[in-house]
Amino acid sequence: MALREERVAAPADSGHLGVAAFTHRRRWPPAAAVALALTAGALLAVRCDRPPFFDNEGRFAEVAREMVESGDWITPRLDGTLFLNKPPLTYWLAGLVFRVTGPSEWARLVPVLAAVVTLFATCRLGALLYGARVGLLAGVVLATSVGFALEARTLRPDLVMAASIVVAILCWLRGEHGSRRWTLGLWAALGIGALAKGLVPLVVAGIPIGIASLRAHGWRGVGRIRPLAGLCVLAAIVLPWHVLVARQHAGFAWDYVVNQHLLFFFDRKLPRDSEGDALWFFWTSFATRALPWTILLPLALPDAARGASRTATAAERASFFLATWAGGVLLFFSAAPSRLEHYSLPALPAAALLAARVWDLASAGRLGRAAWAWIAAAGTALVAVGVVGLVDGRALLTRAYWIAEAPALFPLLVPAALTVVAIGALVLVAALGRRAALLGGVLAGGMLVVVPIVLVALVDMTPVFSWRPVADAIAAAVPSDVPIVFEAPEEYQQVGGLAFYTRRPIVILAPHGFVPPTYLEGQDIFLAREEFARRWTSGERLALVSDPQQRRDDAEGLVPGPYRVVAHFGDRWVLVNYAAR
């Protein structure tokens, strides 16, 4: 898969990153990057109120709603109870949207805005590393990556964090090439990221910046990022909220610093309210999120490998830097048993820049025969996957029992499979003819069809993954004076979406073996199971909503006495202990 490239000497500073090999090419102004980012953002925002919030989004939406309703923007609460597991930026931003739109799924404008910032910063970073043409190509690649497009419509902190990391790296690189005052922007961006996701952005950005600085300047590189002034900027952004909450709520500081960061990394956090993904699943998920540009990523590896050499071109050094960025994210979380598949998101901008580099080399006729053979093989594989989907897709899908709860998915099989076949066939044609423009156009254009199909599929999966149908059933059948009891898993935060859509306080049934975080010690936030059994059989009217993480084919054993099924959506059962009126 060798890449054939004209060798251009790197600058005298052997650690220099920047444009050297392509300075003769046309430079697009920043306005082009702005236009691309805004156009992509506008497309991503179309009907971002659909589908209803899924479980993970519901907790962020509910905390933001309670902030707006109570007027307390300092102390996050979930279902009326302290919820200090996460820093507050996502709640604040969603709350600002709620002040305009009311509590609704339009809070997803927060990740859409973060996507716009990420796209613009990626374009400008590509312009510094390879030239403005590659920067714009990287923006196209990132905007049409499946995982990025879906994350831009998911209310959680991860895309805000990713935006902060890309902006931080951009500011650092601008500081390397110009005024070192840009490095204060690096620290400010990391401070914003820390308000969204804790200490993770500092580690993720620090890996590639640290490696590149040490290569270029040795230990003098530490001084070049202005650590004293930078830490003051970081502290001014991060400390006020953390100190204020720590003063108000005993146990927060230990839980936040030790439990939510150190113990969580090693999968020793209490409560045990999350289960890490398998290593193979984590890496497969990254490859899936980077689709369809995953095809091009292996072709960037020789370029990155040459970048480790002191005789490398500046562009090759840039590829090495991006490889340390993406690889650093993946290896860091691979070492954490608590890893979740979406933790790979900050690697996507680096992957987009590497794929754009390969696309640019292909356009310049600098890809070798082996590289085009790889692309042809990938196109053939896509055709095969599409054919399997046409022939046996329904049988494969029904192996997941919950698919039967979303029968509207099945009509999407044929258009999805035909789209994959068409993309694969055109990729094969492009590879055989060594037509880089066709290849890039097919990969980017194909996603304009694939992503809407995926979004329609998510809407169809609403009964399986969202609390909105449950809340609608409760509104229709459970009077407002009847307490709603939630059979919570150890991840009791699952109550967020139920509380958001019902707009009612939820009584949480004590999870088995639950150990509360230190800031909740001594607070009685759960209903004991013995007390629930007594109340259910005493004649008091109650409703129970079952744990959505446990598979149950029927409702037997959920409650201690007679019951009536009000609704059933996937693994979500709604039972009451009184007869219908």
Instruction: Please report, in tens digits, the pLDDT of each residue of the chain (581 residues total).
Output: 444 443 433 443 445 565 433 333 445 568 999 999 999 999 999 999 999 999 999 999 999 999 999 999 999 999 999 999 999 999 999 999 999 999 999 999 999 999 999 999 999 999 999 999 999 999 999 999 999 999 999 999 999 999 999 999 999 999 987 777 899 999 999 999 999 999 999 999 999 999 999 988 888 888 888 999 999 999 999 999 999 999 999 999 998 888 888 878 877 777 777 778 999 999 999 999 999 999 999 999 999 999 999 889 999 999 999 999 999 999 999 999 889 999 999 999 999 999 999 999 999 999 999 999 999 999 999 999 999 999 998 888 888 777 877 888 899 999 999 999 999 999 999 999 999 999 999 999 999 999 999 999 999 999 999 999 999 999 999 999 999 999 999 889 999 999 999 999 999 999 888 888 888 888 888 999 999 999 999 999 999 999 998 989 899 999 999 999 999 998 999 999 999 76
Sheet holding 564-569, edge to edge: 526-527, 506-509, 484-487, 543-545, 572-576, 564-569
What would the 3-class secondary structure string for 245-286 be?
HHHHCCCHHHHHHHHHHHHHHCCCCCCCCCCCCCHHHHHHHH
**Quick one: CA torsion of 80, 86, 89, 93, rounded to 10 degrees?**
-50
Q: Reduce the DSSP state of residue 506 to 3 states and report it.
A: strand
Distance CA 491, CA 275 (A): 10
- What six digits make up the tokens of 494? 């699952």
Are β-strands 543-545 and 484-487 bridged in parallel, bridged antiparallel, or unpaired? parallel
pTM above 0.75, yes or no: yes
- Per DSSP, helices labelled H in 249-398 are 252-254, 264-265, 279-289, 301-306, 314-334, 348-363, 369-397
Q: Tokens 């923006």 map to which residue?
A: 139
Distance CA 348, CA 255 (A): 30
Contacts of 68 (CB under 8 A, 6+ apart): 95, 98, 99, 103
Position 101 scores a pLDDT of 95
> Across-strand partners of 568?
573
Evaluate whether 11 touches 315 at the Cβ level (below 8 Å).
no
Count the residues in the chain.
581
Position 4 scores a pLDDT of 44
Q: Reduce the DSSP state of residue 557 to 3 states and report it.
A: coil
Q: Tokens 């307390």 map to which residue?
A: 72
- Between helix 314-334 and helix 348-363 the angle, nearest 10°, is 150
Q: For 506, phi and psi rounded to 5 degrees?
A: -115, 135
